[in-house]
Structure 1
């Protein structure tokens, strides 16, 4: 394994700062020369690293949807990237990307008193049917180019689809990952590591946005939670191009936040695609379990068991549950 560059400071993992690009670019070029790191285009074995939503909004304690444990996850993740820099062919990052008037944000819903639901409110089919929560009709012109009645019908349809599909019930989340805001950005130490990798390996980090459609949640990078509207028209397309790209690697490592939500749903959709094509492809997937954590809000919700159950199912299907420091890691020889 390669050493870790001197500029990496684990103490800064929970802070926001500007990456000094020109300085890091010069260091990365010198690093590649010193350790004879070839460009990624020369790799005989293509190894990918998929980082899911490693953003300030999820990873820093003062931000909106902080996942406890994310700082330690990101310390380990950075070390993993630097130590295995010469063998990681490409890094792919997903960015949860939102605006205010989305179906899982408070502005979208009102009760009979005109109040918006507080964060972590669960909205069920019965809540909509009995008018405990209704869509905010002042938004209909920007959410749907149709009538307010259509938005009312869509709200009931949407929560019904979640229930029928075995999805999480609709949760009202705090405003988070707001497009253009600092919460949307990659954690600074992760951005720095990705940039350093880009220069040293001469391979651009691939960035995938998800979650911009106002009328659906989008935990998985591959598809929205609800795919079609009541008329059967597609709400947002599935990202099959990314699935094809990821399955083109000889090995793919996956980490990010949160283990119980966006990571679990992304891996589940990837597994579904694998099982349709060739179940043996699951053996090329490695889940970095010490670089991801579940959502836990003490006294409110704890998704640890949900996350562990999902990962057990992934392993049963052939995927590997590993850690960033696992000495027997069968990846880089």
Structure 2
């Protein structure tokens, strides 16, 4: 078997269970994966001639399981579940072509700048999650202020410093043309079930790990209390009002991704964490060599935008972002296409240039 051969999907995979939470039977799957690798002649990933990375962004229960805090329904209403059925099938079919899988994990605690407890209005009420955006003028005019009760937990009781920081933070978002500060429901809580990978996706990643002798590289993001972190490559704000660093770019991951021959991106949500991650990757690529954008493949049928019926629909923004990525040289692809065909796509783009 060559690494370009599409494999069958193992019998244990049940698409009807992708929208559920359950325990992966690791030992059983490990034995099956080892036998699967032997049956189809798969070699350890370390020997891959063409090194391909799958970057799976925030494929977690909190975003992907109906009824959880920030389920990404997309326009179909079941977007993340449908995406993950296709993502699992993609992983199984392409076990021999994927060198490494990098799952990112949105990781939060309660007292973060985008959670309700952080803020109060003039009546001492917290903002309504998913329906409140805090703009610079809201902070300037005192419509939203830092909750005094949390200061001791964040800045050694220095409430004025915390209040000054929020003014700086919302100003930086405005100056950079980013989304206003969105207040989200408590989600992806560290130690909670919402933080975990979707069971079916975790099982597929584990199966790949054993079959290809390739340890997945788990990347945690979002645990900084004082900044949003949609992208796994960098938080929204890096410095405080005095120019002192409060966070850093994920330079190690950036360098690792750029070293692969191909980087495939999937996950949730297309309009937020996926789009932000791709945008930051493109910025890093353009600073080094814009032609490197051709090595990036956007698995567009394995990602959905944030849609809250009657409240907000980010579909057009997500589509516009992906169109911009394509114009920069990245490829919009489908999970049913063979990775081998993508290589010829890159070659044809190079010839056209």
TM-score tier, shorter chain, comes to over 0.9
Instruction: For residue 330 of structure 1, give the secondary structure of its aligned residue in structure 2.
Output: helix
Contact 1:51 1:94 in 2 (8 A): yes
**Cα–Cα, structure 1 residues 13 and 328, in superposed 2: closer, same or farther, change >3 Å?**
closer
1:255 aligns with 2:266: yes
Q: Which is worse superposed, 1-10 or 154-163?
A: 154-163
Query: Deviation at 1:288?
Result: 0.2
CA–CA distance in structure 1, aligned partners of residues 164 and 115 of structure 2: 18
1:26 aligns with 2:7: no
Task: List 4+ stretches of structure 1 deviating above 3 A.
Answer: none
Contact 1:251 1:331 in 2 (8 A): no
Contact 2:58 2:268 in 1 (8 A): yes
* Structure 1 residue aligned with 2:71: 66
Query: Deviation at 1:326?
Result: 2.6
Would you say how many aligned residue pairs link Structure 1 and Structure 2?
A: 333
1:122 aligns with 2:126: no
Q: Which is worse superposed, 245-254 or 125-134?
A: 125-134
Q: Specify which of 100, 110, 129 is matched with residue 90 of structure 1.
A: 100
CA–CA distance in structure 2, aligned partners of residues 290 and 296 of structure 1: 16
Instruction: For residue 193 of structure 1, give the secondary structure of its aligned residue in structure 2.
Output: helix
* Structure 2 residue aligned with 1:203: 214
* Structure 1 residue aligned with 2:76: none
Gaps of 5+ in 2: 1-5, 74-78, 345-353
* Structure 2 residue aligned with 1:166: 177
Q: Supply the RMSD in Å over aligned alpha carbons.
A: 1.2
1:226 aligns with 2:240: no
Gaps of 5+ in 1: none
* Structure 1 residue aligned with 2:281: 270
* Structure 1 residue aligned with 2:86: 76
1:246 aligns with 2:257: yes
Contact 1:137 1:151 in 2 (8 A): no
Q: Cα deviation per residue 1:240-270 (whole Å; 9 max; x = unaligned)?
A: 1101001111011100000000000000000
Q: Specify which of 160, 163, 169 is matched with residue 152 of structure 1.
A: 163
* Structure 2 residue aligned with 1:46: 51
* Structure 1 residue aligned with 2:11: 6
CA–CA distance in structure 2, aligned partners of residues 89 and 216 of structure 1: 33
Q: Which is worse superposed, 280-289 or 318-327?
A: 318-327
Contact 2:97 2:339 in 1 (8 A): no
Q: Cα deviation per residue 1:31-53 (whole Å; 9 max; x = unaligned)?
A: 00000111001111101100000
Query: Deviation at 1:141?
Result: 2.0
* Structure 2 residue aligned with 1:290: 301
